[in-house]
Amino acid sequence: MTVEDPFRPEVGEMMAKQIPLVDYLVLGDDPHLVANQCTSCGARYFDRRNGCAACAGTTFTKADVPTTGEVRAFTIVTFAAPGIPVPYVAAVVDCDGTSVRANLINVEPDPEHVTLGMKVRLATETIGTDQHGTEAVGFGFEPLGG
């Protein structure tokens, strides 16, 4: 770290300032996802909703989503829009009944290492640090026991 760079924060400051990539990712000692759960029917959503698509209910509570799951579908993207690093593995992970869209991370992005039905767990990864020293933290799923 060079003291000449005004945009590079001190280590302690950087550790202290984090922001999740999306508001349904909860950081801290036990990172996990939290869904908006319909109080009427239990349907879960990761985005802000005006109402429930399943039952038209209008009230939601926060519900923690299990941090382990099973890969139900995946693709290995090798051709993407400019600026998006490839290859990456996009997947749908079944977290004990709640479907989660995420990348698979900390795994070789090829069909020999990524398989349907593989068990995975939530992991966080850095997205980058802004000019105020705040680190954005994203999430993915990595092989369990890997």
Residue 32 β-bridge partners? 26
Pairing of strands 135-143, 60-65: unpaired
Q: In the bound complex, what is the minimum distance in angstroms from residue 10's beta carbon to other proteins?
A: 18
From the CB of 55, what's the least distance to other proteins, in Å? 8
CB of 130 to other proteins, least distance (A): 5
The Cα 36–Cα 15 span in angstroms is 28
Of residues 4 and 38, the one with the C-beta less far from other proteins: 38
Contact present, 142 and 120 (Cβ < 8 Å): yes
Nearer residue to other proteins within complex by CB, 82 or 145? 82
Please, how many CA atoms are within 13 Å of residue 42, restricted to the half-sphere of its CB? Answer: 3
* Shortest spacing between CB 29 and other proteins, in angstroms: 21
Q: Considering the complex, state which of residue 10 and residue 23 has its C-beta at the smaller distance from other proteins.
A: 23
Q: Closer CB to other proteins, residue 10 or residue 72?
A: 72
25 neighbors 137 (Cβ within 8 angstroms): yes
Residues that bind other proteins (CB under 8 A): 19-24, 43-49, 53-54, 71-86, 88, 90-92, 97-103, 111, 116-117, 127-128, 130-132, 134, 136, 138-139
**DSSP string spanning 1-19?**
--TT-TTSPPHHHHHH-EE
